[in-house]
Amino acid sequence: MPFVPSLLYRLFGINAGAGTKMSIQSVRTARKGRHAIGEGCILNCYFSFDRREAQITIGRNCFIGNSHLVAAEHLIIGNDVVISWDVTIVDHNSHSLDWKQRAKDVADWRQGNKVWTDIGIAPVRIDDNAWIGMGVTILKGVTIGRGAVVGAASVVTKDVAPFTAVAGNPARQIRDLLEQDRAT
């Protein structure tokens, strides 16, 4: 994946820390929103900012593979987080649960509008030292605790406790991480 030279980030309006490398797809999609990216990151992801006030915050020394971060409110990723490829993180339901409200979606989109009043939105937080495996989906309102591991192809609908491993659909705890496995 070709990376854009960091000197160009400011030209594109991207607030990225020193030593951060971003792929062309990351630069193209990040420049359309509000974000803060720490130093020393390697980003190959797509950013989607679904509302003007949406924000994505990424700590330092993070790796995010070819994945999709979707925010209507706020996604917060801590320091030293590893997110594999084909991961989707989204902080909203995208559509109302009421079919009468959804019936208007396509007509609204044709007019360039999206009505968010009946759509569930809650921030997502991934704490320091977490590892998110390939093909994972993390849904609105979830907090992934410090040092947690989410197994490949899991769907995370509830909070994950610090220093635990979860897997499955829906994701369930499969083990506690041993003391020697924990970052200090």
The per-residue pLDDT for 13 is 74
Domain range summary for the chain, segments of one domain joined by + = 3-181
Q: What is the pLDDT of residue 14?
A: 81
Q: Are 23 and 46 in contact (CB under 8 A)?
A: no
86 three-class SS: coil
- Could you give the CA distance from residue 123 to residue 130 in angstroms, rounded to a whole number? 17
> What does the alpha-carbon distance between residue 169 and residue 131 come to, in Å, rounded to a whole number?
17
The predicted-structure confidence for 54-93, as pLDDT tens digits, reads as follows 999 999 999 999 999 999 999 999 999 999 999 999 999 9
Q: Which residues are catalytic?
A: 95
Report residue 29 as tokens.
């999609």
Query: Where is 136: in which H helix or E strand?
Result: none
Q: Looking up tokens 């997502």, which residue turns up?
A: 124
pLDDT number for residue 84: 98
- Give dist(CA 57, CA 141) in Å, integer: 15
| Strands of 55-58's sheet in order across | 34-37, 55-58, 74-77, 124-126, 143-144
| Preceding amide of 170 cis, omega within 30 | yes
Contact by Cβ (8 Å): 21, 6: yes
Helix, coil or strand: residue 131: strand
**Confidence at residue 145, expressed as pLDDT on a 0 to 100 scale:** 98
More confident site: 76 or 179: 76
Residue range 88-112: average pLDDT? 88
pLDDT tens digit string along 17-66?
Answer: 999 999 988 988 888 788 899 999 999 999 999 998 999 999 999 999 99
The domain 3-181 is placed in CATH, from the list 2.160.10.10, 3.40.710.10, 3.40.50.300, 3.20.20.70, at 2.160.10.10
pTM assigned to the model: 0.91
The pLDDT of 120-130, averaged and rounded, is: 98
List, in sequence order, every residue forming a beta bridge with 75; answer none if it has no partner: 56, 124
Q: Which two tokens stand for residue 184?
A: 């200090």
Give tens-digit pLDDT for 126-156.
Answer: 999 999 999 999 999 999 999 999 999 999 9
CB atoms inside a 10 Å sphere around CB 154: 24
